[in-house]
Amino acid sequence: MNLHANLIPLYMYLGHPLPRPEHLYDYLITRQGIVKRIESPVASADLLLAPIQADLIGLRLQPYPLQPLQLKVPRIPGCLLQAVLADARANIEQEVMYQFKLNAGEGWSVTLPAQERAWARVGYRSDPTNVILDLHSHHTMPAFFSKTDDADEQGGRLYGVIGHLDRPEPQLALRLGGYGHHLYNVPALAVFEEIGPFGEIYVNEAEMAAYHGDQSTWLSRWLPWR
């Protein structure tokens, strides 16, 4: 039995070479702040979670070179995104969840996990094996990550939302899950070979922070009737 199996490592970064996390993620205290290092089957990335302004005298902390997002999977053929768009448009009165899977030797496929469809929420349970991207439809609503999505999207894979499907240029937003945190604004062309007719939505993280602090500010820009 491995007594350390449930412990997440926390390192102080003193400038020495540090291998990537062995298992999903770890934390570093660095000169610039607290860093979470993600090493999932889908991607590597480092998130600066909490900048530290104070000089922690005596700890000899060094600035840590943050790993930019690096995806570990090939891009998804555009035809699969087109197929999802067609299906979501055919079900425009409800949210639908799609899962993009990568199987060794077989390539990419899309499945609909067992789900209860509803106007405002997709509930789903599924086997996450080989799932690289969870993408759900916001039908005629804007593509944005809701608090419900935050609660559902706690893994380390890619997560996406499509919205405004009634328009000629629908919206697409993508993020990387970081086991409870998220890296926003993953470029769509890093994930898909082509994205037409979608337009990408980029999240303003300062506005996101305001949204999480006070739902009335950020959300009211999208949903003016609230």
CB of 156 to Zn ion, least distance (A): 19
Q: Which is nearer to Zn ion, 46 or 149 (CB)?
A: 149
Q: Which is nearer to Zn ion, 13 or 198 (CB)?
A: 198
Q: In whole angstroms, how far apart are CA 69 and each of 94, 111, 208?
A: 32, 26, 20
Q: Is 134 in the site for Zn ion (CB under 5 A)?
A: no
CB of 49 to Zn ion, least distance (A): 23
Q: Which is nearer to Zn ion, 29 or 173 (CB)?
A: 173
Q: Is 149 in the site for Zn ion (CB under 5 A)?
A: yes
Question: Taking the mean position of all CA atoms in its chain, how far away is CA 114?
Answer: 21
C-alpha span between 32 and 29 (Å, rounded): 8
- Listed in order, strand segments (DSSP E) in the chain are 10-12, 24-30, 33-39, 43-51, 70-71, 97-103, 107-111, 115-116, 123-124, 131-137, 158-163, 171-177, 182-184, 199-200
Which of these, 22, 33, 47, 17, lies nearest to 8 by C-alpha position?
22
Choose one: 20-28, 75-83, 143-151, 173-181; the region binding Zn ion (CB under 5 A).
143-151
Q: Is 26 in the site for Zn ion (CB under 5 A)?
A: no
What is the DSSP pairing of strand 131-137 with strand 158-163?
Answer: parallel
Q: Which is nearer to Zn ion, 102 or 173 (CB)?
A: 173
CB of 136 to Zn ion, least distance (A): 6
Q: Print the binding letters for residues 92-131 with Zn ion: x by CB under 5 A, - otherwise.
A: ----------------------------------------
Q: Which is nearer to Zn ion, 134 or 149 (CB)?
A: 149
Q: Which residues bind Zn ion (CB under 5 A)?
A: 146, 149
